[in-house]
A and B are shown apart, each in its own frame.
Chain A
Amino acid sequence: MSQRDEQLKLIDIEIEKHKGDASSLMQVMQYSQDIMGHVPMDVQVRIAEGLGVTLSEVYGVATFYSQFALEPKGKYIIGVCLGTACYVRGSQAILDRICEELNLEPGKTSSDGLFTIEATRCIGACGLAPVITINDDVHGRLTADDVPNILKPYLRG
C-alpha cells in the first residue's frame, strides 16, 4: 500500500467518525491537512460525501482559511510577518530577499518540495520585528543581508 493510500485510509476512518455531521467540516479538513500537508480534490470530495455537505462548501472553506493548502506545502514553511510592526521595520525587503535567494514567489512551493514561502499577518512577536518563522523556529530582528545565513542550514534538506 502506497503512502498516499495509507493516508486516504486514515482520512476515511476520520470521516466515518463524523459521518453526516456538517459541523465537523473544519476538523476533518484539518486532519487531512495535518497528515497529507494539504487537502487535495479527491479528499475534498470524500469529505463532502461523508459529511453531507456540498463540494462547493468544502472548497470555499479550503480557500477561505489560510491554514488549508490545496497543493502540498514544502518541508520548510517560511512565514514572513507583514504585520504593521514588522512592515515598518522592513519586512518587505526580507520577503523580497528570501524570494530572490530561493527563486520562489510568496504562496508557492519550490519544485524540490523543500520550501514554501508565506506572507503572514501579525504573528504576535512584534518585539522581534522584523520577524520570520521557519516551521517552529523563530528568527527575529533581521536585515535582508541576514537571509542567506539563516537559510543555509535548511538548504541541506
Chain B
Amino acid sequence: MITLTIDGTEVTVEKGTTVLEAARKAHIHIPTLCFLKDLNEIGACRICVVDAGARNLQASCVLEAQNGMVVKTNTPKVREARKTILELILSNHDKKCLSCVRSQNCELQKLSLELGIEDGEALGGERTHYDVDESSVSIVRDNNKCILCRRCVAACEKTQACGVIGAVNRGFKTSIESPWVLPINQTACIRCGQCIAACPVGALYTRSEIDRVWDMLADDSLYTVVQTAPAVRAALGEEFGMPMGTNVTGKMAAALRRLSFDRVFDTDFAADLTIMEEAAELVNRIKTGGVLPMITSCSPGWISYCESYYPEFIPNLSSCKSPHEMMGAIVKSYYAEKKNIPVEKIRVVSIMPCTAKKYEAKLPELSASGYPDVDAVLTTRELARMIKTAGIDFARLPDEDFDPALGESTGASVIFGATGGVMEAALRTAYDWITGESLEELDFCEVRGVKNIKEASIKIGDSTINVAVVHGTANAKELLEKIKAGDKDYHFIEVMGCPGGCVTGGGQPIVPAQERIDVDPRVERAKALYGEDAAKPLRKSHENPSIIKLYEEFLEEPNSYKAHHLLHTKYTQKPKYPALEN
C-alpha cells in the first residue's frame, strides 16, 4: 500500500493507483476532460494538472501515487494553469451552448462554470471551421465542438475494434476524422454510438427523428404505436434526476400515453417472441447438423460488425430479426388484421437504447407487410427530450401498464437489455423444450455480469450445451479469432455490440466521466432489469400467454412458413473499406 498526502489529507491507496483516483478517496474531485476510466488515460488535455513537488505541474490522471508524495491540487498556480488550458480549448470551440444537445450535460460547460471562465479576449482568436458530417443515419459529427480529447477514438478502437475515426494532421489543424476525411457513412462504422457515449461535449450526437415523430402524433389519420426496448426502462429515469438503476417501466408507459401514442406496447413481448424463434432455430440446428455455433442477431451494431469485419461468420448468425423489428412486423400483420386497421395508416415508433437501430429500421428488406416494419427509432435520450418538451412531470407520473396484448411479457424478456440476458432467456426455454421438464432454478449466473468473455457448459438432459457471451465488438473479435484458430467450440453465442449490452447502448443517457470513476453504469442499470425479472410471475418466454395465443391464432408454430416470412431475415457481406471500392 502507498500513503501520500493530498491537500493536507493523508490517503492510503494500492500501488499503481493514480493521483487522480487517490484524490477521489480524499473526496477531492480533480477536473478531467480527456480522461475516461479504463478507456482513455493518456494525459492529453492537461486539465487535471496538480503540483506534486516536481518542477512542472503534472497530469494527475497518468501520475502514479508514490509513498510520501505531497500533492497540492488547489494552489494559485494550479488554478491559473487549468484556467489557461480551458481558455485555449474554448478559444477554438464554437460555444453554441444554447442549441447544443449536450447543454447541461457537457463536461466542458460544467468546467467553464466551475473554473470561473469569463467571456473576453482569451476566448477569441483564430478558429478552425469544419462542415458538420450528417452522412450517417445514426450519428452526427460536428468538429466545431470537438476538443480533441480522443475519447471517441478510444471507444471506437478499443471497445469496438472498428477504428473508423482517428486524429489526422497535426498542431492547430488536428481533427478527428475517418481516413481520407471521408464522410463517416463511407467507412465501416457500425453506428453503435459508443463514440457519442464517450464524447464529453456535443461534437458527436444522435441523428434526431423527434420532429418526424411529432408529425406522426399530430396526424389524426394515423394509428401510431410505440414500443420500448427492455434497457430503456433501466436508464430513462436518469434524464429526470433519478438515481442510476431506478426502474421506471410504469412511468415510462404513462409518459408515452400522455404523448398521445395510440397504443403503448412493449418490445419485451417481441423479445419473448424472439426466444421462441431463436430457441427453435438453435434446437433445429443442433438436431439437423446445421451451422454451429449459432450467434444471436438482436444487436444491429453487432450485425454490421459481422457483415463488414467477419463475413465468414454470416452463416452462424441467427436468422431472427431483432425484437423491435419482429414487433413491427406483428403489429402490421396480426394486430392490423385483428383490429381491422389499414396497414398503411399504422406507424410503429421504437424507443431504443441504440443508435444502430435507426439504420436497421431503414433496411428495405425489413418490411414484411410491404411497409417498413418500424417507421421511426428514437433513442432513450430523444424520448426524454420529447417528455421534457411536452412538459410532462415524469418523476410524479403514476405507474401505468402497457396496453394488452402486445404489452405482455415475461421476466426472460426484460433481461435482454443486459449482457447475457438473451442467452439466459434462451436457455430457460431450450431446457424445458429439450427435456420436457420445467426448469426450477432459473438464474444462470455464469452468463451474468460484465466479464469480457463469459463461458458456460450447461447440462440439458443428456447433452451439454457450450455457450459464450460477449459484449462490445472488440470482445466479439477476440472470441471469433479463438474460434477461427480452433481453440474454442460452442453451440450458442450471444453477442451484443455495446459493452455491457443494451443498458449502456449508444442511445442511453450519457454518464459523465467523473461519475464513471465511481460507478459502473453497466452494473447499476442491469440491476434494475434483473430486479424486474425476479419479481415477474412468469419468467420463461414460452409461458407468455399472449405469445401462446399469437402462435395459436396466427403464426402456427416457431419457424413456421409464416413466422419465417414475418420474423426472419438474411444478411449480406459489406465492405470493410468502402472507400476502396469507389
Interface residues of A (CB under 8 A from B): 41-42, 44-45, 54-60, 63-64
Contacts and interface: CB of A to CB of B under 8 A. Distances in A.
Nearest to B166: A56
Contacts of A45: 577, 580
B169 A54 contact: no
Given A41-B579, A45-B577, A55 B168 contact: no
A56 B164 contact: yes
A54 B179 CA distance: 10
Nearest to B175: A63
21 contacts: A41-B179, A41-B579, A41-B580, A44-B179, A45-B577, A54-B166, A55-B163, A55-B577, A56-B153, A56-B156, A56-B163, A56-B164, A56-B165, A56-B166, A56-B178, A56-B179, A57-B166, A59-B180, A60-B167, A60-B168, A64-B169
B170 interface: yes
Given A45-B577, A54-B163, A59-B179, 18 more contacts: A41-B179, A42-B580, A45-B580, A54-B162, A54-B166, A55-B164, A56-B153, A56-B156, A56-B163, A56-B178, A56-B179, A57-B163, A57-B166, A58-B179, A59-B180, A63-B168, A64-B169, A64-B170
B157 interface: yes
Contacts of A59: 166, 168, 179-180
Interface of chain B: mostly helix, strand, loop or mixed: mixed
Contacts of A42: 580
Contact of A55 (B153, B167, B179): B179
A41 B166 contact: no
A44 B179 CA distance: 10
Nearest to A45: B577
A42 B579 CA distance: 10
Contacts of B153: 56
Interface residues of B, number: 18
A22 to B, nearest CB: 12
Contacts, number: 43
A19 to B, nearest CB: 15
Interface of B: 153, 156-157, 162-170, 178-180, 577, 579-580
A57 B163 CA distance: 8
A78 B498 CA distance: 50
A59 B187 CA distance: 13
A56 B580 contact: no
Residue among A41, A54, A56 facing the most chain B CB atoms (10 A cut-off): A56
B174 to A, nearest CB: 8
Nearest to A42: B580
A63 B163 contact: no
Contacts of A54: 157, 162-164, 166
A60 B177 CA distance: 9
Contacts of A44: 179
Contacts of B170: 63-64
A14 B200 CA distance: 41
A77 B6 CA distance: 56
Contacts of B169: 63-64
A54 B157 CA distance: 8
Contacts of A56: 153, 156-157, 163-166, 178-179
Nearest to B179: A59
Contacts of B579: 41
A55 B166 CA distance: 9
Residue among A42, A57, A63 facing the most chain B CB atoms (10 A cut-off): A63
A60 B170 CA distance: 9
A59 B157 CA distance: 14
Residue among B162, B163, B179, B579 facing the most chain A CB atoms (10 A cut-off): B179
Residue among B153, B162, B577 facing the most chain A CB atoms (10 A cut-off): B577
B473 to A, nearest CB: 13
Contacts of B577: 45, 55
Contacts of B580: 41-42, 45
B180 A60 contact: no
A64 B173 CA distance: 10
B525 to A, nearest CB: 30
A55 B164 CA distance: 7
A8 B145 CA distance: 40
Nearest to B577: A45
A157 to B, nearest CB: 31
A87 B180 CA distance: 32
